[in-house]
Structure 1
Amino acid sequence: MRPIRVAIIGAGPAGIYAADILANEHPEARIDIFDRLPAPYGLVRYGVAPDHPRIKEIIKALRRVLSRDEIRFIGNVNYGSDVKLTDLKRHYDAVIFATGAHRDRALDIPGIDLEGSYGAADFVSWYDGHPDVPRQWPLTAKQVAVLGAGNVALDVARMLAKPADEQLSTEIPDNVYQGLKANQATDVHVFARRGPAQIKFSPMEFRELSHSPSVDVIVHPEGFEIDEGSQEAINKTKSVKLVVNTMMKYLEQEPTGAPHRIHIHLCQSPAEILGEDGKVVALRTEVTELTGDGTVRGTGEFKEWPMQAVYRAVGYLSSPLADVPFDHHEGVIPNEAGRVQDMDGQQAGVYVTGWIKRGPVGLIGHTKSDAAETIKNLLEDLPSISAPEISDPGAILEHLSGNGVDFTTREEWDKLDAHEVALGEAAGRQRIKVVDRDEMVRAGRA
């Protein structure tokens, strides 16, 4: 196999795993990973709740990949404006898009645009210190609804229910701590459309929901149904069984009188967000019933729940990218096993991996197998891919500098990383995350 240079757009797990697999499979490959942020790791850094340090252990593995000599990290570069596909094709044999999913999937119900109705992804970006979101978040609601039955819904509910001081052992920035300190929520209600055997909580995350002494977890018995299809799922899948068992424990235990409560409501489908003077005042749900095959149907019975804020956690959505096709319905770049397809067929030398390839589903294991498939097909295609016009590895950096792009490097990320750790040590914590983009860049060059 001839020496090749490959550009990967996106420095989250999908992009970094693809780089690692490619470097292992093709020793003559040299890989540049671009990201729009000055720091790598994508949603592992900006999409995982700060009180989940075990999940963030994955960063150690990602760091080892970025330390490889065959791989360069080039941050603070916005694909589509700072660098275009035509630029990349002149400098690289192939381009892999691994930009993930960062937006909230829409929920088309009346009242979704009222003041006090939020997307969970935006809230997650705020409490994770993303540099491109506002520094303040309105947390005046005492009764809050979270719509969704996945881990993001659990994270949002837990962050809204736990006292701010319990987060001081994490890496949250001061603005997030101050915002959570002013949080007035006492009751957080999580609404799931289906029953206990159909929700998508991870067993560990669901168990951890009750680890705060300041929070009672209350599972409401209405909607707790185990039909034939549910029992089949419980018998077939260990994780489903663990989640249902945990839910039964919550269902049976008595509240302790803790000052904050997380309520789990099953078989409640969001129907409308009610408002007064343009602000959220209640949520209307339709009671559903299981149909025996894992789905539900509406019963025509509706309930109203007083709420002052509603967070939708119904899924992430990828964003379109310049100069590549995009399926707006599925939220992915059209592809065949990672080979990008346009109306005329395969785009030569252009590939995709991760959530932008398959949609925002699956865990780290899926991401690795996804990347392996894409790299396998890229290497199979090499004989038909033309060598780039420009082979000098420094030329792309000169191109960026010439266009006024203030890009960051792996060495600068290492300095920023050390700076955040030092901030944490001074406060008796493992790390304090730097939020401001310019401050991130300055810290990396100090």
Structure 2
Amino acid sequence: MRHIAVIGSGPAGYYTAEACQKQFGDGCRVDIVDRLPVPYGLIRTGVAPDHQSIKAVSRRYEATALSDNVRFVGNVTVGEQVTIPELLELYDAVVLATGAPADRPLGVPGDDLPGVIGSAAFVGWYNGHPDFADLKPPLDGPAVVVGAGNVALDVARILAKTAAEFAGSDIVNHALDHLDAGIHEQVTILARRGPHQIAMTPKELGELGHLARAAPVVDPADLPPVEADAALDPGLRKSVTHLRSFAGPPANKPITLTFDFYAMPVRLEGDGRVERVIVERTAIDANGRATGTGETYVLPARLVVSCIGYRTPPIADVPYDAKLGRFANDDGRIGPGLYAAGWARRGPTGTIGTNRPDGFLIADHIAADTAKDSGKEGRPGLDRLLAARGADPVTFRDWQRIEAAEIAAARDGAPREKFTSVAGMLAASGRGEPPAIGP
């Protein structure tokens, strides 16, 4: 029997558990440990609430979670209630699948002003993550979104939608109410490079053209010659086609979504809070990098959301690559018995499905590196250790009770109303007083 601990219950965690099942069959026991009492990580708190079809992949993870040799151990923080060296003593393999939930800093003067928010925090706020439930971003003026990927599009779209357009989504009520009361009329998306260098996919760009109260706008001067599109891969070519459609006369709508290409923030200013973004025009050099031209201008801003990437937070006793913002590893191997999968291995790149090959890679490594029966204790040893430290682990059955309570509390047409506090989650799991939905 191989005893395997997977740290993190998002896509990389569950794909790794599934791969270990296929690799070892009944010859393994997998414990999936997460600091929150609820599973699914990025699927629950990262995917946009109005993209429910993407969230449906959680049903695949549920099938893995309900199998006999996989167990969810929620509400347990690795590095606090149990350490990596302790887990390595108990398990044949420990796989870090913690994702990359921390924002990369914007890295310009003034990026610590109130009103400047990283996308992990902003997305966590409207998705009901307990760490960000009390964020209350300022929505009483112009917003600037920094980034040229799908996260920037998600943020801009969420800012621009009407309450009615969130029908069928699982955006949490506190965010829905706050967004509906916002009065911003201008959302600017800043991109360091040009339309041919974006990481925005056609589906997400296309959605902007169908918003009830917002019109996307692209300056025709920022678009390369049409014939240059022929050299692009098909997906990017479709994305650029959407951008070209936004270069016509804008629709007469209350909110304008302006794409500002060849532009980078160099300074944020304001009296006690962000009030303006100093932007420098850029040009693309021979190596494809954006370099400043020296020409600057000012954008007013009450809210700045930085969507420039994520980092994996370090864990004590685990080698870390600070430059790349992930665990130091060689093709997923960190050290004897210790592995990394998903974004914790390769950084925040790829789609949700990209994590599946990672899981099978790690399962292959475990098969090659570990003995069939090492005599390690695994699950019983973890249970004893957590009990001695007063931990209160949450099982998958507990999660199902939390989920049932969220479904029961949903507003009309919504799939659920998420608990946005750990206390509420624990209460709904059958511990303590009856729960109250909300922050």
Partner of 2:420: 435
1:418 aligns with 2:417: no
Partner of 2:98: 99
Q: Is the 8 A contact 2:262 2:283 kept in 1?
A: yes
Partner of 2:260: 265
Q: Is the 8 A contact 1:283 1:307 kept in 2?
A: yes
Partner of 1:45: 44
Q: Is the 8 A contact 2:103 2:118 kept in 1?
A: yes
Shifted more, 5-14 versus 125-134: the winner is 125-134
The separation in 2 between residues aligned to 1:291 and 1:132, in whole angstroms, is 40
Change (3 A) 1:388 1:100: farther
Partner of 2:341: 353
Partner of 2:239: 243
Amino acid at match of 2:44: R
Match of 1:376 among 364, 378, 382: 364
Identity across matched positions, percent: 36
1:387 aligns with 2:368: no
The separation in 1 between residues aligned to 2:376 and 2:358, in whole angstroms, is 29
Partner of 1:24: 22
Partner of 1:343: none
Give the 5 Å matches for 1:319-334: 319-334=313-328
CA deviation string 1:215-249 (max 9, x = no partner): 11111234223599x64xx5341111110111111
Counterpart secondary structure, 2:419: coil
Query: How many pairs align?
Result: 430
Change (3 A) 1:282 1:222: farther
Shift of residue 194, structure 1, vs aligned partner: 0.7
Shift of residue 67, structure 1, vs aligned partner: 1.9
1:68 aligns with 2:53: no
CA deviation string 1:394-430 (max 9, x = no partner): 3322321221111100101111112211222x63422
Shift of residue 205, structure 1, vs aligned partner: 0.8
Change (3 A) 1:84 1:206: same
Amino acid at match of 1:129: G
Counterpart secondary structure, 2:132: coil
Q: Is the 8 A contact 2:162 2:212 kept in 1?
A: no
Change (3 A) 1:210 1:328: same
Q: Is the 8 A contact 2:341 2:359 kept in 1?
A: yes
Shifted more, 194-203 versus 126-135: the winner is 126-135
The separation in 1 between residues aligned to 2:224 and 2:262, in whole angstroms, is 9
The separation in 2 between residues aligned to 1:286 and 1:46, in whole angstroms, is 33
Shift of residue 306, structure 1, vs aligned partner: 1.8
The separation in 2 between residues aligned to 1:380 and 1:395, in whole angstroms, is 24
CA RMSD in angstroms comes to: 1.9
Q: Is the 8 A contact 1:168 1:177 kept in 2?
A: no
Residue segments in structure 2 that go unaligned for 5+ positions in a row: 432-439
Shift of residue 168, structure 1, vs aligned partner: 4.5
Amino acid at match of 2:297: K
1:278 aligns with 2:272: yes
CA deviation string 1:308-328 (max 9, x = no partner): 221111101110011111111
Q: Structure 1 residue runs of 4+, over 4 Å off?
A: none
Partner of 1:198: 197
Partner of 1:318: 312
Shift of residue 338, structure 1, vs aligned partner: 0.8
The separation in 1 between residues aligned to 2:120 and 2:135, in whole angstroms, is 15
Q: Is the 8 A contact 2:278 2:296 kept in 1?
A: yes
The separation in 1 between residues aligned to 2:272 and 2:135, in whole angstroms, is 21
Residue segments in structure 1 that go unaligned for 5+ positions in a row: 341-346
Change (3 A) 1:54 1:115: same
Q: Is the 8 A contact 1:222 1:266 kept in 2?
A: no
Counterpart secondary structure, 1:370: helix
The separation in 1 between residues aligned to 2:164 and 2:18, in whole angstroms, is 39
Shift of residue 62, structure 1, vs aligned partner: 1.8
Match of 2:329 among 335, 352, 357: 335
Match of 2:392 among 406, 409, 414: 406
Match of 2:383 among 367, 380, 397: 397
